[in-house]
Amino acid sequence: MSGHLPVMLKEVVAAIAPKDGGLYVDGTFGGGGYARAILQAADCRVLGLDRDPEAIARGQALVEHFAGRLTLVEGEFSRMEEFTDTTDGVMLDLGVSSFQFDTPARGFSFREEGPLDMRMSLAGESAADLVNSATERDLSQIIARYGEEKNARRIARAIIAARPITTTTELAAIVSEAQGPKAQALSIHPATRTFQALRIRVNDELGELERGLEAALKILAPKGRLAVVSFHSLEDRIVKQFLTRHSDARPSASRHAPVARAETAQLHLFTRSPQVPSADEVQRNPRARSAKLRVAERLAA
């Protein structure tokens, strides 16, 4: 399991507060960092889910190590209620795992050449399929919505003109050229938002998150905890609005972004503002810099 640094590990374990005899769901197993820490913190069990078959295969060593206490299932975390009807805690670490990002053959990163894939499950439509078949209008909307990219139209036009595109480095070069010299001089790579947008669209990440939060709420036992680590504003907004909608907190005072309330509160928010990584953690693991942790507890019936 080396090579993977779970973000805000201590904070997530503290939020979940594992207890002896409990059952916890790690909905994004990845490298197994959270599952391992939970199992070490208490004499409990963990159900680990991941739609990436490679993550499940890597995790078999942990299954053997924690004999009988760790169960791994290949599948989306939105399906968690198919595998258990109650749990004392759910943890979700959203986005791409270090293993996925650092493996060129998976096509998530533009740092090294690889096939334009980006599929977490290794099945279905790839990023290459999308890039080479979508209309200019659709590409522009995807890049603008999921990447929050202001130059989405220009980028989409350049992609259409350069098709077919088959590798990550090809696409990165096309997007970088379309962005122009000003964007190329910035610290963030010009293709970052476009790659994010395509990845989110290929994996339906926002839809999966919405369904996963609903599933978690259904199976959380009274006093069960939900801890979600997000990495960009689109994810964090969904998590924040969901937790607020189902919580006993006062409604937002903002008239510009009202949140519809559930008829009966089911969650208690630990904080209105998310926790963020310490400066020391960001220095050790730069990928943690944009992480936000939100935590809620299921109210007693």
55-77, pLDDT tens digit by residue?
999 999 999 999 999 999 999 99
Does residue 150 contact residue 202 with C-beta atoms inside 8 Å? no
Residue 2 has pLDDT above 50, yes or no: no
Count of Cβ atoms closer than 10 Å to residue 259 Cβ: 16
pTM to 2 decimal places: 0.92
Q: If you write DSSP's letter for every residue of 177-189 in order, what string do you get?
A: HHH-HHHHTSSS-
CB 114 within 8 A of CB 96: no
Report pLDDT digits (tens) over 164-188.
999 999 999 999 999 988 776 677 8
CA dist 208 → 156, 202, 215, 272 (Å): 25, 11, 10, 23
**Three-class secondary structure of residue 26 per DSSP:** strand
Q: What is the DSSP string of 68-110?
A: TTEEEEES-GGGGGGT-S-EEEEEEE-S--HHHHH-GGG---S
Neighbours of 17 (CB within 10 A): 19
What integer best gives the mean pLDDT of the chain? 93
**pLDDT at site 248:** 82
**So where are the chain's domains?**
9-99+205-298, 111-203
pLDDT at residue 220 tops 70:
yes
Name the more confident of 140 and 253.
140
CATH code linked to domain 111-203: 1.10.150.170
Q: Is residue 250 predicted with pLDDT exceeding 90?
A: no
pLDDT higher than threshold 60 for residue 252 = no
CA count, 13 A, side-chain hemisphere, 38: 33
pLDDT band per the 50, 70, 90 thresholds, residue 32: very high
* pLDDT band per the 50, 70, 90 thresholds, residue 95: confident
Multiple choice CATH, 9-99+205-298, 3.40.50.880, 2.40.50.100, 3.40.50.150, 3.90.870.10? 3.40.50.150
Amino acid at 234: L
